Amino acid sequence: MVFACFFITTALLFRQFGEVLSTVVFRKTPIEMSILMMLILVALSCRRNSIQFAYVHLFYWPFVIFPFLFLIFMSMKSVHFLNWLPVLGNEAPNWPLAILSTASLYLGSFIITMLLPITEKPARAMKSVMLGIAVSASLYLLLVLSTIGIYGVRETLLLIYPTLEMARSIAVGDDVIERMDALFIIMWVINVYTTMFSTYYITSITFSKLLKFQDHRLVTTLLIPFLFGVSLLPQDQFQLYRFSRIADESSYLFLTGYALLLWIVSVIRRKGGHSHG
């Protein structure tokens, strides 16, 4: 089940990547080529051990965090604070579904379970995970606030890619440098690459354990045609994002429940976290 969760999520992530490239950047390039290009790149990257996997993320994280902060900072001058009011909206929100939809964005954080065996101080893993989630959650919040502050709620709902439109509206130095969407696309590709790298790596590791392979490198190659085929199943963007939301939320509920079950079993058996104390 863990393999199935990340397999479907990874395939749909590749399709979303292809949709954005075909819509914004490579409009005359077939979406299949965009997906296949990224699929091969990520598959080759996954033919590494866990230590190299961790170092890749360590190398890329400044290129993800700081450009986003720069765009958010530059967009604040165009924010209309009245667009944030009323803070809680005019209607009562559906809190359970809203929380589940937001929490499913952190599905990739389960990769920490794969990295625990190579960590020097496993007892600090929880603090590191919570810090990472706090940083990414703050970025999400700032992006949402800046986008809604510029366009308002109603207009934001009409935009396919609101954050990209926000980046296009930014000008630096009295319009000397206009249209920061090129910078946004670059850092978005890096962000998507690291996300797909994580989910593909989890998929290959879990599948290799399922088949009782000693090395996961063969599995990374075997998964390419299957992931490519599943990524092409949605007929359009509406169906794609509907499937993605269902898959992400279902996977998050299952993995959270599975982790809680393992934790309860470890507490009952007086093992698990206490052994690292």
Residue 137 pLDDT > 70: yes
pLDDT score at 277: 47
- The pLDDT tens digits for 139-171 are 888 888 888 888 888 888 888 888 888 877 776
Structure token digits, residue 12: 């749909």
pLDDT score at 26: 83
Residue 264 pLDDT > 80: yes
- The pLDDT tens digits for 216-232 are 888 998 999 999 999 99
CA distance 36 to 18: 9
**DSSP-derived 3-state class of residue 174:** coil
Mean pLDDT, residues 99-127 taken together = 77
Compute CA 253 distance to the chain's CA centroid, rounded to the nearest angstrom. 17
pLDDT score at 218: 87
Question: Percentage of the chain with pLDDT > 70?
Answer: 91
**Which of the pair, 180 or 99, is modelled with greater confidence?**
99
- The pLDDT tens digits for 33-68 are 999 999 999 999 998 888 888 888 888 888 888 888
pLDDT score at 84: 85
Place of tokens 């979406």: 31
**Which of the pair, 8 or 76, is modelled with greater confidence?**
8
pLDDT score at 212: 84
Spatial contact of 184 and 164, defined as CB atoms under 8 Å apart: yes
- The strand pair at 171-172 and 177-178 is best described as antiparallel
Per the prediction, the chain carries an average pLDDT of 83
Residue 207 pLDDT > 80: yes
